[in-house]
Each structure stands twice: as C-alpha cells, then as structure tokens.
Structure 1
Amino acid sequence: MTITPGPLLQSVNSPEDLKKIPREKLHEFCEQLRQYIIDVVSVHGGHFAASLGVVELTTALHYVYNAPYDQLVWDVGHQAYGHKIITGRRDQFVTNRKYNGLSGFPKRSESEYDAFGVGHSSTSISAALGMAIAAKYKGEEDRKVVAIIGDGSMTAGMAFEAMNHAGVANTNLLIILNDNGIGIDPNVGALKEYLTDITTSRTYNKLKDDIWNALGKLPVGNKFTRSMMHKLAESVKGLVNSSSNLFEALKIRYFGPIDGHNITKLIDTLNDLKDIPGPKLLHVITTKGKGYALAEKDQTKWHAPGTFDKVTGEIYKKKFDTPQPPKYQDVFGKTIIELAKQNDKIFAVTPAMPSGSSLKYMMEEMPDRAFDVGICEQHAATLSAGLATQGLRVFCHMYSTFMQRAYDQVVHDIAIQKLPVVLCIDRAGLVGDDGPTHHGCYDIAYFRCIPNMIISAPMNESELRNLMYTAQLESTQMPFVIRYPRGEGVMPQWQTPMQEVPIGKGRKLKDGRDIAILSLGHPGNFAAAAIRDVKQDGIDPAHYDMRFAKPLDEELLHEALSKYEKIITVEDGTVVGGFGSAVLEFMAAHGYKNDIRILGIPDRIVEHGTPKELHHECGYDAAGIADAIRQMMDVKVSLMS
C-alpha cells in the first residue's frame, strides 16, 4: 500500500525546507504531518498517540532552531516520529521499527539530527545540560540546546537531579515540559497535582500573560530590556500562587503554561526565549493523541495500538479457530490476585507500568495493596524493601530493561538485608520492535553476581504460577527473581493448580542418548521443538529444564555432565555472565571437560525486529538450536531444515 504525504509535507526533506514554508501555512503543514503519521502507523504499527500530541511543538522547534547545530534532545522518544519525518526520513518512515529499518526512537547512528539516543525516560535534561556546558566551554555561545520532556518523565528522580544542577550551571539550556497528563498510563503522584494547579490557576496565568505581553512590547537586545525582564521576572515570584515556586526555587526561570497546539504562539514564544539568558523552562499543554478522536479519548489504549483501520478505529487482532495461550503478563496479573486473596500479606508495586504488567487488575480490585509509583524504579525497589521489613510479601514488577535503573537499590536495600522481595522481571530477553534500549538481555548476569538472590525463569504459564506461589511462602526468606518474556506463552489451558517448586531444583523433561540440552526459561520450548526436528537425523538429545540460574541444580548438572559428553545451554539472556557461564563455572569447579556450546544473546548490541527474527539472528530459536545440535553431532549442514 502506497502512502502519499500531503504536498507541503512532500516538499520538506530537511528543517531548512520547513523554514521555507510561510508561517500562515504552517497549520496546514501540521495537519499533513499528523495525517501522515496516522496513515503510516495504522498500516505498519508503532507508537501512536505521543507523536500526534507534539506535531505543532515539533514543527515549531525545527522552524525556530537550527538543528543539528542547535541540539534537540527528546526524552524517551515515543513522540519523535514527527521529528524523524521532518529531518529527512519521511520516505523511510514505513520501515519504522521493522527489521533493518528505522529505529522507533531517536538514535545517534541513524541521523545527525538525533542529538542523543533514548528509550528510557528522564535522561533528556541531564544529556542536554551536558551538551550546553560543553558548548559554553568550547565558546559556542550561539549554540542552543533544548530538552523536551513529558510530565510523566518529570516524576523520575533523575530529572530533578538534572534540574538541581541546571539551576546553578549558568548555561542557556531550555527545558520544554510537554504536559499532557499521561505517560503510557495516567500519571500519578503529587507532581501531577502540582502541574494541574499551575495550569488551572486563573490569577497566576493572567499575571503571566500580562508580563509576557509587556515583554513582547519591549525592544529586544538592549540593556534596558534585559534589566526590565529581570525585574519583571523577579517580581512575579512574589505575586503568583505558591504552585509556581518549584522550578523558580531551583533557579530555573518558568514560562507558561501555553497552548502546545497553537503553532504561531509556539514559534513566537520560542523565538523570544532564545534571547533570554540562563536556564529556562517552558510549560506546554498538549493533548496526547491530538487529531485522532479515539486516541484522545483513550490514550493508554492508543499509546501503541498496533495496526488499525484509521476510519473505523478497529484495532486488528489475529483471529484463531482454537483457544490461544495468554500473554505471560496476564498470567502474572491474574495469578497475583488469586494469591493475594489467599494471603493478605501480599502487596504489589510497579513503576508506571500497570497496563504493561497487567497489575492494573489488582489495582482495580485491591487498590490499597497494589501501587503505581510513577516512573521511579529506584523508589519502587526500596519502597518494596520497606514494606518487606514489616512482614509483607511484596511483588515488585518491572520490565528487565527498567530494572537496570534500580540495580543499586536491589543490592543495597534488598539483597544485603536479605529481604524476601519478589522481583517479577517482565520483557526478559529480546523484546522485538522497541530494540536495544528495551531488550532484557542482562538481568541474569547482573543478578547472578549478587549474594542472597534466587533467580528463576519459567518455561511456561504453569511454571510461572508455581514460582509465584513458591516465592510468597513464609519458608522463602530471600529475594526471589522470576523472569519471563514479552508475549504469549504455550498453554491455552493455563490456570493449573499451583504447587511449591523446590528452590534450586530443575526437572528432566526427556532422557536421551547423544547430547544434553540444558535450557532456562521460555527458550526451553524452542529446545523441545529442535529435539523433535533432529529426530529425523537419528539424533536423540536429552532435555533438562533447569528452572533456576541461581542456585543451580547441582544434582541434575552432575547427572547431565557425567552422562553426556556434549552439552548445549540455551537462555534468552546474554551469553556473557549468564546461565551458560554459570554452568561453565560449575564444570570448572568440579573438573568436567565436556564439549559445551552456549546459546543465547551474543556479546553485541542486538537491534530491533520481531522477536522471531531476532531469535533467529541470535541462533537460539528452534532452527538455531537444531543447527547447533547437528554441528556438535557432526551431521552435515545439508541435512538442516
């Protein structure tokens, strides 16, 4: 299907082309840009509502600033589709998030206009401040640096740390606070209420408007103007309501709030702010999903809806004739409610991922026992530790890639104190289209080196339920990691009775004659398929589902290493320091000399694509495992499927 951009959008292949469009036609350009994003994402998928909400802001930024010399730093990057289209990637946009195509996020290696690579939240102010300090040091006083951050990302401690420094760093950094009241899920916490207070204060906004209008009537660039600006800015601090004091207290000049969909107002404001020295914050009010009514109404659903009919709003789902396995996240979300009904000590915490984790079900049913703490992974981990000191059983749920941000808290606040917090690690392994910033590659390796940790991975939904059941038992008195992948499992009938799993004990799924496969977690299903495949070649592998990366099942390992000369380990974590490395360490400690091959995520950055494509690229899908079995058994490559 050919998607044709509007005529104004067709004329823009760079920000310089955009600047040639008359101001009075920019509204028309924005409509064409918004429609192009709707057209492409409806057919090809991707993040959706966030970019629609910043079409005017993106256009204004590239109309006013001189990128890439002036540096625009986007936070997270969900909202950067318009930026990519304006900066020469319009015709490639149909490849967005596809294998070997454009990244779904800003990426330095993709374009000189992508000043900083992102994917995680709340990094923009720190990165932009670093760029502004460097520009000042190098004498590039004319270089402007802008951080564009959402109100959801503002809840993270890193954003406050950066603002605390920016207020005294004496640079011309501009922070644009894109305030739409929602991240992926609705924002929570006191900051949300604070921003609402600013937005709705009539006295405050009237005074700000009056002062802004006065500044607009002054001649620009002379000493009198600068002095008057300073006096007016100082006087407003004592006159506006107390809600304005947060940013001003950090010595960051606050401007706004202004309508983020008024392209003329945005351009005029940005031009004016270029002439005001020092750190500044512009508060912009936008609507996530702007221009597509269904996305405006249900912003969480339309954050990344997949492909859909843009006219009717029907989101396309695969249709099956038989019952299908659920997503692992839904198994977690439903199982924790079952457990919480049986055990009144169970609590749950997630940092801004109630929908993605399916913890939303418990939050709806048991709101006093399940919490969304905002984009605050460090706080989520230590809050869980605090709850655990009081005898509560806390399931702290994070995506693997975001757990990286809470690493110190896991070590310092959970593991050292040996608190039995259950760390549910969703999106473990290769997550697909979101790419390297979101892959869950490293958690086995970075948890395995921490004392007092139990690290487990279920092969299927029933095993996930059993591990969750085991983790909440009073007899379990250590931090307990349960990691599972994004997407569907393998069991349509998944609501099996829960039973305790002996900690550190795996299971032998199949005896064999020639070679042993030691798998950890969901890739055990790939191994089982590979074993069926190589049967046609007369190869008879054994298969062990090890369940635990720490502690290892030493009894099973002794059995496998004693009986089989050739060993293959399979995991959806990095091969450096992961489960396979743990087996090698065990072999070295006990003098085993087996021929072993470790399959998993290689020691390089894996780019984006579908999970199926990436598993194949990394060689641990069913075909890759079968290939490795045949190679180790010296079966000719021509026999491979």
Structure 2
Amino acid sequence: MTQPNSPPSTPLLDKVNLPRDLKAIDDKDLTQLAGELRAEMIDAVSRTGGHLGAGLGVVELTIAIHKVFDTPHDRLIFDVGHQCYPHKILTGRRDRIRTLRQENGLSGFTRRAESEYDPFGAAHSSTSISAGLGMAVASELQGVKRNVISVIGDGAMSAGMAYEALNNAGALDARLIVILNDNDMSIAPPTGAMSAYLARLASGRTYMGFRELGKKLTAYLGKSIDRAITRAVEHARGYVTGGTLFEELGFYHIGPIDGHSFEHLLPVLRNVRDNAHGPVLIHVVTQKGKGYAPAEAAADKYHGVNTFDVITGAQAKAKPNAPSYTAVFAETLVQEANEDERIVAVTAAMPNGTGLDKFALAHPTRIFDVGIAEQHAVTFAAGLATEGLKPFAALYSTFLQRGYDQVVHDVAIQGLPVRFPIDRAGFVGADGPTHAGSFDTTYLAALPGFVVMAAADEAELKHMVRTAAAYDEGPISFRYPRGEGVGIDMPVRGEILEIGRGRIVKEGTKVALLSFGTRLADCLLAAEDLDASGLSTTVADARFAKPLDHDLIRRLAREHEVLITIEEGSVGGFGSHVLQFLALEGLMDSGLKVRPMVLPDIWMEQSKQDAMYAQAGLDRAGIVSTVFRALGQKRVGRDAAG
C-alpha cells in the first residue's frame, strides 16, 4: 500500500505548539486550523494505525475547549481516550504523533505520565465524570479556582457509573462542566440559527444569573421551597430549551448544539466559563469520522484501524495463515446455537470485537447488546441462566474486570451456569497495559465451583465452546488471545472435554513443561531445543486451571526432575494453584525443581506481541533459559549462548 511521501501542508497548525498559542489565532481562522488538524491526524494514523473516527469527530470541540479554557490549569478529561489524538497534537506532542501506539511511542489513550495536559489516564469507558467531580471538589476544598471539563460520548452514557457520577455531582453542586459528545444518537444535528440562539441564551448571564439568584433566595426560605422553586425555574426553561433528565439530576443543561460549528461552540463555552457556578452539561452533536469520507461512510470500520492509504481509505490487512481466535469462537458458537435453541449471546457494546456480529446474523433474536455496561451484562446473563437458557457473556478480559462483583455474587455464589468467553486474554500489543488480559485466570480461579479453561490453539477453542455449551453444573470460562491461531487442522465440530482433564502432547523423561493456554506452541519449540541439549522433555496442555488435573500433575512431578508451568497471566493464577497442590501433596519434598512462569509483575508497555513475549520471558528462548536456571546449568548444545 502506498503512503504519502510527506505530511500535509499545515501553515496555521505549525504556529500551535501548545494550547496558549490558540489564543493568538482569530476565531474566523479556526475552521482552517480544524482542517489542517484533521489532515495531520489522518496522515499520522494512516502510518501507525489506531483510533480514527472518534478523534476526527471532536476536532472543532478540542480546539474550542483549549482556546476558551486555560489548560492545563483548567482540567480537561476525555472519557475512554479514543478521541484524544487531536488533543495530543495541540498539547506539545505533535513531533511524536507518528509514534502512536508504537514501542516507546505515544500511548493511544490519555496518560498522566505522558503530559501535564492529561490530568487523568483513561482507556476504559465512563470514568470521566467521576474523575472530574473528584478534581472539582478537590479544587474547591483547596481554594483553587479552576474549570473542570469532562468530555464523554453518548455511548459511554450507557454505563451506570456515568449516572452515579451525575447524581453525585448534582447533589454536591460542584463546579463541573460535562460535555456530552453525541455522535451516535438519533437526534438530528441542530444546524438552525434558532437552535444556536437558544443555546447562547441559555448559557448567558441572564438565565444563569436568574438561576443563581433564585437558588440563593429560596435557600434562605428553606430547602423544600428551594427545591420546588428551582425545579419550577428549570421546568419553565424547559419549555424554551427542552428539559432533560440531566436537569432532574441537578445539572444546568445546554443544547444540543452543533459540535462542528465554532459559531455555536465558542459563545456557549465562553458563557459557561464566565457565568456558570454549579454543574453544567453541554450537549453537542458531532459526526464520527468527520472530514474524511471513508470514515464518514463507515464509522464502525474506522473506529480502530490498521495502517491505511489516505487517498483510498483501504486498510492494510495481514495475511494470516490461520483464522483469528475471535472468528473461531464466533463461528463455533453459531454452530452450537444451530443445535441448541437455548444458547443466547450477550455482549457489552462489542458485537464486532467479540465476533458476535456473526451470531447476530444467524440468530438475531438471541443476541443482546446491553451497551457499555459489563456489570449489567453479567447479572443479565445470570437472570437468563435462572430460566434455563445458556447465556454466553462474551467480554474482553480487561472489561470483565468491571463486572467482577457481579461474577462473584450474582453468578458464582448461586452456581449459575453462565458461560464466559474471554477474548483478548494476555498481551494485546499496541493497546498496551490498559487492555491487556492479565488477571482473569487469577480472579476467576479463586472462586469456588468455577470451571476455568484456556485454549492452546484454535481447535482447542472449538472444543471449549462446545464443552461450555454442554456444561450446566455452574459457571464456566474459557480464554483465548488476540490474533490468529497456529494453523492447526480444525475438527468439523468440537468435542466435549472431560472437565478437569489435561493432555500429554509430547513424552519425555527429565523436564516437564506444563502449559495453560496458547504458550503451548512455544513450549513445543522449546522442547526441541531442550531435547537437542540432551534434556528429554515432556510437554503437557493443562486445559483447566480449575479444577486441576491432579493425576496429570502427580505424574509429571513424580517422573521428572524439573516441572515448569507456563501461562500468559499474572501471579496467583494457574501456576499458583499447581504450587498449592504440589505443596499439600508433598510432591516437592523429593527435590522436584518447580518454576512457575507468569507475566512479570509490572505494567508492560505497548509493543508488538512477539517483543512483549520476549521481554516477559514467555517465548521459546525464555522457557529454555528457565529450565537451565532451574537445573543450575548453562545452556549447552544447539544455539548455546555460552
């Protein structure tokens, strides 16, 4: 794919190194600046890949906020962070913008350690209002006058946490500005002059001053009268501007306004800056992918992109020699659902990412997208299970964490047969530590009665989908990574695995490698090196972290000098359970050398997945080195390092 030879021409953007430089640019020139900022962002993301559509949709909004407010003294928080690339370009990071999501490069999300203009790191949804409220209250307690602006998308408003924060903010009457970036609702963009006029009027000194005067007067007369009169004022204003739920929660609501019009944005933001006292919500309407035709035409496909050709919009695609794990899961679930009408699927705003868009095509009445609401997704699935259905709650590992309390109380304690397909288990490359699936084995295997599986390859994943479908005794999970499989032959239909039973893949006599998950392929490669060095090696696939295959572990412990467990997860997971069993059984008393290999106890920075495995020591070379260290030997034989 051809890339442009040079970045676009950006004479006005070249004058902006930090937000303060925007103050010198005339309002009438901001439209040109927005065009240049879009071109710069498109060019950068075409080279690095990343999140495109969301950032293109907030170019004008980002410029307007930084021009009107005094960042970083005033705090600007972007929810999730998918839309933060224009913000990064305007806040001193333009010279590094073509390192986005690369090793040692800029993060794809906001990050406190990266810039003082990122007051809060975010890569999960619906946190911005809570964080902003904390900052606003802290500023008031410390006597610091500042504006706190939380920018949250309408999709993120499907999460309960956002409403918890709104409810609390309204009660505290804190100086917090929430900008609801509506880029997906069915509200038509308000382009008329009357809409802009009403928004300016509602945000002006007269309306806000009257509201504050009314609050002070009625507060003197008593809280009950205060609430009654304040609500009456808000309802009266609602006849002119449109009353909303947000006003009932204690926010002063303005909008909707056109989020791509500086004529609409700047007066409203300036009025709010100068006149607002309590919590304010500004409703702006924007378009994902704005200004780039391919992204406007297919917002879902241009939310997150690989490198692409700027002219055509064609994205680069790797040529895998095997199907992706996500595709195997989705196709297998469809296959099993064809055989069992009780199977239903639940996703939390990720039908494409989890592959359940394919399930929706085959069984449109049996899939439920609950929005960005993992807590609800888990308990909703629990409710489905109580009535005899077979729910598969498909979530990324990092997102399942958000529903852990519900996994414990609503599923595990009640022993409900909810199935948890866990996508993106392990390293996720460019998305970095916020999206890595590091902890699911640890936090699920700690729960009594929970079956915890990990697929070693795409064929094993197919077996595990069918096994989960057939298992009705309680909750069951199976994890699988991002990316493609290993290219193994696939069965026509998966087998039902015996619960708690692993398998021997290769027989040896001295060293045992016990793998949980997709590190099995590297274990087999490491075994080749160990065999060549004279260390006869057994390789086993545990399949289950819970229940453990006690017979398999006993055999490996008794028949080998060294036992290595390997998993792509944190300490406290599979290896810890094996060590617990070995210790209680007295299987280490005879001198067995046991070494658990897990993810290092650090936040692993973004890089290519292979590089991350090497850094973590979970690749072929790392496994071999661990064996020799356990034996107290230097490596000998083929590929010896000396």
How does the TM-score come out when normalised to structure 1?
0.92
Letter in 2 for 1:568: I
Q: Which runs of 5+ in 1 are unaligned?
A: 182-191
Letter in 2 for 1:509: V
- 2:640 aligned with 1:639: yes
Letter in 2 for 1:234: E
Give the counterpart of 2:468 among 463, 467, 471: 471
Query: Whole-Å Cα distance in 1 between the matches of residues 183 and 624 of structure 2?
Result: 50
Change (3 A) 1:306 1:233: farther
Structure 2 residue aligned with 1:184: none
Query: Whole-Å Cα distance in 1 between the matches of residues 436 and 358 of structure 2?
Result: 25
Letter in 2 for 1:577: G
Give the counterpart of 2:166 among 153, 163, 167: 163
- Range 460-469 or range 404-413, more displaced: 460-469
Q: How does 1:413-452 map to 2 (within 5 A)?
A: 413-452=410-449
Kindly state the Cα deviation for residue 583 of structure 1 after the two structures are TM-superposed: 1.1
Structure 2 counterpart SS, 1:90: helix
Structure 2 residue aligned with 1:69: 73
Structure 2 residue aligned with 1:188: none
Structure 1 counterpart SS, 2:420: strand
Query: Whole-Å Cα distance in 2 between the matches of residues 299 and 2 of structure 1?
Result: 26
Structure 2 residue aligned with 1:33: 37
Give the counterpart of 2:548 among 525, 540, 552: 552
For 1:100-143, what per-residue CA distance to the aligned partner results, in whole angstroms no more than 9, with x for missing partners? Answer: 11111000111111010100000000000000000111111x20
For 1:504-545, what per-residue CA distance to the aligned partner results, in whole angstroms no more than 9, with x for missing partners? Answer: 000011111221101001111111122123333233211110
Give the counterpart of 1:172 among 147, 171, 175: 175
Q: How does 1:470-509 map to 2 (within 5 A)?
A: 470-473=467-470, 476-491=472-487, 493-509=489-505
Structure 1 residue aligned with 2:389: 392
Letter in 1 for 2:384: L
Give the counterpart of 1:618 among 609, 612, 616: 616
- 2:580 aligned with 1:585: yes
Change (3 A) 1:164 1:226: closer
Structure 1 counterpart SS, 2:352: helix
Structure 2 residue aligned with 1:147: 150
Structure 1 residue aligned with 2:225: none
Query: Whole-Å Cα distance in 2 between the matches of residues 626 and 66 of structure 1?
Result: 55
- Range 537-546 or range 162-171, more displaced: 537-546
- 2:604 aligned with 1:600: no
Change (3 A) 1:563 1:253: same
Structure 1 residue aligned with 2:243: 244
Kindly state the Cα deviation for residue 386 of structure 1 after the two structures are TM-superposed: 0.4
Query: Whole-Å Cα distance in 1 between the matches of residues 240 and 564 of structure 2?
Result: 68
Kindly state the Cα deviation for residue 216 of structure 1 after the two structures are TM-superposed: 7.6
Query: Whole-Å Cα distance in 2 between the matches of residues 393 and 559 of structure 1?
Result: 36
Structure 1 counterpart SS, 2:394: strand
Structure 2 counterpart SS, 1:58: helix
Structure 1 residue aligned with 2:266: 267
Retained in 2: the 8 A contact 1:351–1:374? yes
Retained in 1: the 8 A contact 2:345–2:391? yes
Query: Whole-Å Cα distance in 1 between the matches of residues 573 and 46 of structure 2?
Result: 39
Query: Whole-Å Cα distance in 2 between the matches of residues 417 and 174 of structure 1?
Result: 42
Retained in 2: the 8 A contact 1:448–1:578? yes
Letter in 2 for 1:251: G
- 2:513 aligned with 1:517: yes
Give the counterpart of 2:128 among 119, 124, 146: 124
Structure 1 residue aligned with 2:89: 85
- 2:275 aligned with 1:301: no
Query: Whole-Å Cα distance in 1 between the matches of residues 277 and 390 of structure 2?
Result: 51
Structure 2 counterpart SS, 1:265: helix
Q: How does 1:90-489 map to 2 (within 5 A)?
A: 90-140=94-144, 142-181=145-184, 192=185, 196=186, 199=188, 209=196, 211-214=198-201, 227=213, 234=234, 236-239=236-239, 244-274=243-273, 275-319=275-319, 324-473=321-470, 476-489=472-485
Retained in 2: the 8 A contact 1:211–1:232? no
Query: Whole-Å Cα distance in 1 between the matches of residues 146 and 438 of structure 2?
Result: 37
Kindly state the Cα deviation for residue 225 of structure 1 after the two structures are TM-superposed: 9.3
Retained in 2: the 8 A contact 1:99–1:613? no
Query: Whole-Å Cα distance in 2 between the matches of residues 538 and 390 of structure 1?
Result: 57
Retained in 2: the 8 A contact 1:326–1:492? no
Letter in 2 for 1:612: D
Letter in 2 for 1:549: A
Structure 2 residue aligned with 1:630: 628
Kindly state the Cα deviation for residue 240 of structure 1 after the two structures are TM-superposed: 5.4
Structure 2 counterpart SS, 1:531: helix
Letter in 2 for 1:450: L
Retained in 2: the 8 A contact 1:218–1:225? no
Structure 2 counterpart SS, 1:73: strand
Kindly state the Cα deviation for residue 604 of structure 1 after the two structures are TM-superposed: 1.4
- 2:566 aligned with 1:565: no
Query: Whole-Å Cα distance in 1 between the matches of residues 68 and 130 of structure 2?
Result: 23
Retained in 1: the 8 A contact 2:190–2:258? no
- Range 274-283 or range 262-271, more displaced: 262-271
Retained in 1: the 8 A contact 2:254–2:283? yes
Kindly state the Cα deviation for residue 219 of structure 1 after the two structures are TM-superposed: 7.5
Retained in 2: the 8 A contact 1:207–1:240? no
Change (3 A) 1:215 1:469: closer
Retained in 1: the 8 A contact 2:199–2:256? no
Change (3 A) 1:217 1:339: closer
Structure 2 counterpart SS, 1:401: helix
Structure 1 counterpart SS, 2:327: helix
Structure 2 counterpart SS, 1:456: strand
Q: Which runs of 5+ in 2 are unaligned?
A: 216-229
Structure 2 counterpart SS, 1:602: coil
- Range 578-587 or range 1-10, more displaced: 1-10
Retained in 2: the 8 A contact 1:357–1:397? yes
Query: Whole-Å Cα distance in 1 between the matches of residues 249 and 206 of structure 2?
Result: 29
Kindly state the Cα deviation for residue 404 of structure 1 after the two structures are TM-superposed: 0.3
Structure 2 residue aligned with 1:10: 14
Retained in 2: the 8 A contact 1:435–1:607? yes
Kindly state the Cα deviation for residue 213 of structure 1 after the two structures are TM-superposed: 4.8
Retained in 2: the 8 A contact 1:462–1:496? no
Change (3 A) 1:9 1:455: same
Retained in 2: the 8 A contact 1:515–1:542? yes
Retained in 2: the 8 A contact 1:18–1:63? yes
Fraction of identical pairs, as percent? 44
Structure 2 counterpart SS, 1:349: strand
- Range 608-617 or range 621-630, more displaced: 621-630
Query: Whole-Å Cα distance in 2 between the matches of residues 262 and 67 of structure 1?
Result: 21
Kindly state the Cα deviation for residue 209 of structure 1 after the two structures are TM-superposed: 4.9
Structure 2 residue aligned with 1:185: none
Query: Whole-Å Cα distance in 2 between the matches of residues 290 and 438 of structure 1?
Result: 27
Structure 1 counterpart SS, 2:385: helix
Query: Whole-Å Cα distance in 2 between the matches of residues 519 and 392 of structure 1?
Result: 33
Change (3 A) 1:285 1:214: closer
- 2:530 aligned with 1:534: yes
Retained in 2: the 8 A contact 1:515–1:567? yes
Retained in 2: the 8 A contact 1:423–1:482? yes
- Range 527-536 or range 447-456, more displaced: 527-536
Change (3 A) 1:41 1:219: same
Kindly state the Cα deviation for residue 44 of structure 1 after the two structures are TM-superposed: 1.5
Say what the alpha-carbon RMSD is for the aligned residues. Answer: 2.3
Kindly state the Cα deviation for residue 8 of structure 1 after the two structures are TM-superposed: 1.7
- Range 627-636 or range 383-392, more displaced: 627-636
Kindly state the Cα deviation for residue 401 of structure 1 after the two structures are TM-superposed: 0.2
Kindly state the Cα deviation for residue 492 of structure 1 after the two structures are TM-superposed: 5.7
Structure 1 residue aligned with 2:220: none
Retained in 2: the 8 A contact 1:167–1:251? yes
